[in-house]
């Protein structure tokens, strides 16, 4: 049972539900990578153009995720999740039926409704998990992203190779519909108590006035930019540079996805330690250097896959740390709203990663994607060195606490 008594969920079942939520949410974005070449051929566009199919999803996700947390504060976590997950299932089904590139773009935009999942589930964890275990809970929940890479994307690649890329989207739509049912049946209903009254804008303004949040956002934008520039074009790189088939990319992608699982859980533990403030800039910088080497050197396939594993490991831990920081800063009365704040940096980076990566690919080849990763890592490290301090995190949390007393 999810709840021990009344509406208080037990730790493990609640985290597992969050893992399933993050799995389906990130599969929506990750699954395009190994299918990219086949989709490009079927829809009659170059691979660099087809890569833009990963842009509308995070673009819509940005607006949805920005509103999801505060709407869940007002109307309840469960209704917001049901609307978003249900809409995304329809978008996935529509993508499978797409008749040209433009229609595929539209349906991919609809799948951006899945953006309700990360901030709302993050708020759910904050509702029921004490602060001393919250980093662990959020880190374990974030492993769902890794399982989406390791298991989900591998399955999509195999299905796409055997039956065509459209059937991969039909399968994803089915999994998303199953997630909708899990939320409907298992997640407790009701609205959060003790929330800050007022309009959506009024709930955000005190958070957006904190300079530390903007510093976090810049570094996190760089992190997501590098991660999704790599993630979108890695499978295509393997296919075009090493002659792999779509199905053969499943194993390398799964190996790189292991890094997301390990780093998400590890990042959660680090977020509960005194070293947590350095996780975002250092992890992003390491990922940037690895991206430069991976796309720029042209190593043996085994070395390339190993670099991909290290890159995803380095760039995944920062996201867990960020969610933990926002949970601390938002406090009990702005929890959902605070979990929505990272949507701007996350989805801007997620949107621009495929766009800039496609531009770099068309202009300079795959080495250009490595340069994008390297620049992003350098900027994140610079911001971290100049602006990140543990005292500023606590100061931000105390400022919000004083306002909400």
Say which range, 14-18, 80-84, 289-293, 371-375, has the weakest mean pLDDT. Answer: 14-18
Residue 345 C-beta-side C-alpha neighbours within 13 Å: 25
Domain coverage including residue 46: 3-187+201-404
Q: Two tokens at 54?
A: 């990963």
Residue 58 belongs to a domain? yes
Q: Report yes or no on 192 lying in a domain.
A: no
Number of C-alpha atoms within 13 angstroms, CB side, residue 9?
A: 22
With H, G, I as helix, E, B as strand and everything else as coil, classify residue 209: coil
Can you give the pLDDT at residue 192? 61
Q: Is residue 217 part of a domain?
A: yes
Q: What is the pTM of this model?
A: 0.76
In which element (H, E) is residue 400 found?
helix 390-404
Q: What is the mean pLDDT of residues 318-342?
A: 83
Q: How far is CA 327 from the centre of its chain?
A: 17
Torsion 255-60-63-217 (CA) sign: positive
Residue 193 included in any domain: no
Residue 44, exposed/middle/buried by CB under 10 A (0-12, 13-18, 19+)? exposed
In a domain, 76, yes or no: yes
Indicate the helix (H) or strand (E) that contains 111: none
- 86 Cβ contact partners less than 8 Å away, ≥ 6 residues apart: 177, 180
Give yes or no for residue 396 having a pLDDT over 80: yes
pLDDT band for position 15 (cuts 50, 70, 90): confident
* Number of Cβ atoms within 10 Å of the Cβ of 274: 8
Q: Is residue 331 a part of any domain in this protein?
A: yes
- What total number of domains does the chain contain? 1
Domain-embedded: residue 195: no
Task: List pLDDT tens digits, range 232-282.
Answer: 899 889 999 999 987 788 788 888 878 888 888 787 778 878 889 999 999
Query: Residue 302 maps to which CATH number?
Result: 1.20.1250.20
Across the chain, mean pLDDT equals 86
Specify if 71 maps to a domain. yes
Q: What is the CA radius of gyration of the chain?
A: 20
Distance CA(198)–CA(150), nearest Å, equals: 42
């Amino acid at each position: 049972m999810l709840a021990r008594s009344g509406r208080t969920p037990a730790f493990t079942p609640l985290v597992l539900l969050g893992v399933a939520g993050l799995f389906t949410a990130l599969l929506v974005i990750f699954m395009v990578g190994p299918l990219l070449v086949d989709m490009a051929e079927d829809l009659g566009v170059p691979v660099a153009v087809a890569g833009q199919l990963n842009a509308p999803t995070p673009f819509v996700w940005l607006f949805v995720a920005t509103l999801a947390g505060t709407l869940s504060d007002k109307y309840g976590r469960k209704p917001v999740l049901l609307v978003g997950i249900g809409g995304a299932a329809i978008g996935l089904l529509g993508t499978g039926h797409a008749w040209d590139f433009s229609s595929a773009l539209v349906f991919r935009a609809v799948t951006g409704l899945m953006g309700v999942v990360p901030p709302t589930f993050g708020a759910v964890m904050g509702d029921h998990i004490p602060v001393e275990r919250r980093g662990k809970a959020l880190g374990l929940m974030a492993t769902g992203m890794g399982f989406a890479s390791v298991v989900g994307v591998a399955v999509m690649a195999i299905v796409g190779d055997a039956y065509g890329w459209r059937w991969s989207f039909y399968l994803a739509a089915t999994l998303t519909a199953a997630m909708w049912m899990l939320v409907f049946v298992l997640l407790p209903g009701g609205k959060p108590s003790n929330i800050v009254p007022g309009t959506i804008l009024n709930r955000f303004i005190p958070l957006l006035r904190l300079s530390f949040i903007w510093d976090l956002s810049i570094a996190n934008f760089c992190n997501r930019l590098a991660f999704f520039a790599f993630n979108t074009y890695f499978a295509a790189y393997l296919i075009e540079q090493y002659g792999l088939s779509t199905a053969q990319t499943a194993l390398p992608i799964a190996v790189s996805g292991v890094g997301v699982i390990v780093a998400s859980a590890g990042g959660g533990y680090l977020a509960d330690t005194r070293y947590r403030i350095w996780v975002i800039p250092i992890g992003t910088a390491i990922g940037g250097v690895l991206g430069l080497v991976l796309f720029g050197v042209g190593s043996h396939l085994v070395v390339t896959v190993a670099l991909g594993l290290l890159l995803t490991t380095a760039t995944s831990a920062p996201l867990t740390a960020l969610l933990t920081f926002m949970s601390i800063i938002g406090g009990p009365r702005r929890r959902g709203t605070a979990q929505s704040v990272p949507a701007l940096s996350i989805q801007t980076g997620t949107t621009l990663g495929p766009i800039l990566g496609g531009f770099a690919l068309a202009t300079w080849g795959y080495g250009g994607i490595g340069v994008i990763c390297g620049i992003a890592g350098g900027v994140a490290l610079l911001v971290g060195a100049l602006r990140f301090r543990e005292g500023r995190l606590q100061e931000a949390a105390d400022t919000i606490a004083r306002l909400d007393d």
